[in-house]
């Protein structure tokens, strides 16, 4: 019988997993933020909690949030020091190929949520409750929130809507579910709002302030504002003690969020005004795929170095 360490033995040293072997250990993080550049929200060695975000606002510091829908994005953003990861219902139109966020279901989002929470060692992971999973009653919202914490491993959930949802938020918080409120333009209400429109202009600013105050009073740990004029967002931020997060809401909020495929240039087409692209992954991936295809067709790949 061949010795167990012989290359011919079925028990010879294991090769690295060819298709990925789960999240990398936290210790191997290649690009952990340097302590000097680390904001207050990023200081905890362990998991970032909702109270760290509140402390960031008190300290006049800011934090970053990105969407994440899978293992590698979660792992990379976590190791890059992004404080909050959002398993957004934007997975509907960034993962599942739908035109809007409306069709995505709880059962579709839960596996993505599990992948992100298994892969992020430090970030606070927030999961969106998708359209139709919380509007019917506070009881429905609690039941769906419980599923995201229990089955998805999320640390908090986000729901869209104004002060009408204050009692829903209160019930969820009482059940032990941290809630992020999403006001301003709420994509799940796209049809009711008459399309993608900036919210809170002029006199309408007062409505957003009242929404934010009611939701924060009900226990929301954070208020996210989408497509809101910068002065309105600043007024909302000043009206609540909890931290605020903006997307197309100017620069006065405690945090900012972007959909990661927009931020990294993976998605094609016209970007919203509020998007800043920090990479061109679409070109990088497209060039890599073309080069691979050409190598295969010409017989250049696999070479001897890739063969056993």
Q: Contact between 257 and ligand KIV (CB under 6 A)?
A: yes
Report the nearest approach of ligand KIV to the CB of residue 257 (Å): 5
Could you confirm whether 190 is annotated as catalytic? no
The active-site residue out of 75, 108, 226, 287 is: 226
- Which residues, other chains included, contact 282 with Cβ-Cβ below 8 Å and sequence gap of 6+? 265, 266, 267, 268
- Residue with smaller CB distance to ligand KIV, 32 or 96: 96
Q: Rounded to the nearest whole angstrom, what is the least distance from the CB of residue 148 to ligand KIV in the complex? A: 14
Residues 6+ apart with CB under 8 A from 151: 110, 113, 114
| Residues 178-207, interacting with ligand KIV (CB under 6 A) | 182
Residue among 247 and 266 whose Cβ is closer to ligand KIV: 247
> Could you say whether residue 240 binds ligand KIV (CB under 6 A)?
no
For residue 247, state whether it binds ligand KIV (rule: CB under 6 A).
yes
Nearer CB in complex with ligand KIV: 24/265: 265
Task: Work out whether 264 is an interface residue with ligand KIV (CB under 6 A).
Answer: no
Cβ at position 86, least distance to ligand KIV in Å: 6
| Burial profile 241-255: b = 16 or more Cβ within 10 angstroms, e = fewer | ebbbbbbbbbebbbb
How long is the chain?
308
Q: Per rule CB under 6 A, is residue 248 in the interface with ligand KIV?
A: no
Residue 133 lies near ligand KIV (rule: CB under 6 A)? no
Site string for ligand KIV, 12-51 (x = CB under 6 A): ----------------------------------------
Could you say whether residue 262 binds ligand KIV (CB under 6 A)?
no
Nearest residue (CB) to ligand KIV, 24 versus 255: 255
The C-alpha R_g of the chain, in whole angstroms, comes to 22
Pick from 70, 95, 101: which is nearest to 85 by CA?
70
Q: How far apart are CA 189 and CA 182, in angstroms?
A: 12
Q: Is the peptide bond before 302 cis (omega within 30 degrees of 0)?
A: yes
Please list, in sequence order, all residues whose beta carbon lies within 8 angstroms of the beta carbon of residue 162, skipping any fewer than 6 positions away. 183, 207, 208, 210, 211, 214, 215
Structure tokens at 41: 């929200």
Residue partners of 267: CB distance under 8 A and separation at least 6: 94, 259, 261, 282
Q: Which one, 155 or 182, has the nearer CB to ligand KIV? A: 182
Pick the closer one to ligand KIV by CB: 128 or 211. 128
73-132 positions binding ligand KIV, by CB under 6 A: 86, 88-90, 128
Alpha carbon separation from 74 to 57, 78, 109, 277 (Å, rounded): 24, 6, 15, 18
What are the catalytic residues? 226
**Residues contributing to the site for ligand KIV (CB under 6 A):** 67, 86, 88-90, 128, 182, 224, 226, 247, 257, 259
């Amino acid at each position: 019988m061949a010795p167990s360490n012989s290359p011919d033995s079925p028990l010879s040293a294991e090769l690295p997993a060819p298709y990925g072997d789960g999240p990398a250990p936290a210790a191997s993080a290649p690009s952990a933020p340097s302590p000097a550049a680390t904001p207050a929200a990023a200081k905890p060695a362990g998991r970032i909690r909702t109270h760290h975000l509140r402390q960031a606002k008190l300290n006049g510091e800011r934090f970053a949030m990105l969407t994440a829908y899978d293992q590698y994005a979660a792992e990379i953003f976590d190791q890059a020091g992004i404080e909050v990861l959002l398993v957004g219902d934007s997975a509907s139109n960034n993962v599942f190929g739908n035109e809007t966020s409306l069709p995505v279901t709880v059962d579709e989002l839960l596996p993505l949520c599990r992948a992100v929470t298994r892969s992020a060692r430090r970030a606070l992971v927030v999961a969106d409750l998708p359209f139709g999973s919380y509007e019917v009653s506070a009881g429905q919202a609690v039941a769906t929130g419980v599923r995201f914490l229990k089955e998805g491993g999320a640390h908090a959930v986000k729901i869209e809507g104004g002060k009408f949802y204050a009692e829903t938020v209160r019930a969820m918080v009482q059940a032990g579910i941290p809630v992020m409120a999403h006001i301003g333009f709420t994509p799940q209400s796209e049809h009711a709002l008459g399309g993608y429109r900036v919210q809170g202009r002029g006199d309408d600013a007062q409505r957003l302030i009242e929404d934010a105050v009611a939701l924060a009073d009900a226990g929301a740990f954070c208020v996210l504002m989408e497509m809101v004029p910068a002065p309105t967002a600043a007024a909302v931020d000043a009206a609540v003690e909890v931290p605020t997060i903006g997307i197309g809401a100017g620069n006065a909020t405690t945090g900012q969020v972007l959909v990661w495929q927009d931020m990294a240039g993976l998605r094609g087409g016209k970007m919203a005004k509020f998007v800043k692209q920090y990479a061109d992954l679409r070109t990088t991936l497209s060039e890599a795929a073309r080069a691979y295809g050409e190598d295969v067709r010409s017989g250049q790949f696999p070479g001897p170095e890739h063969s056993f």
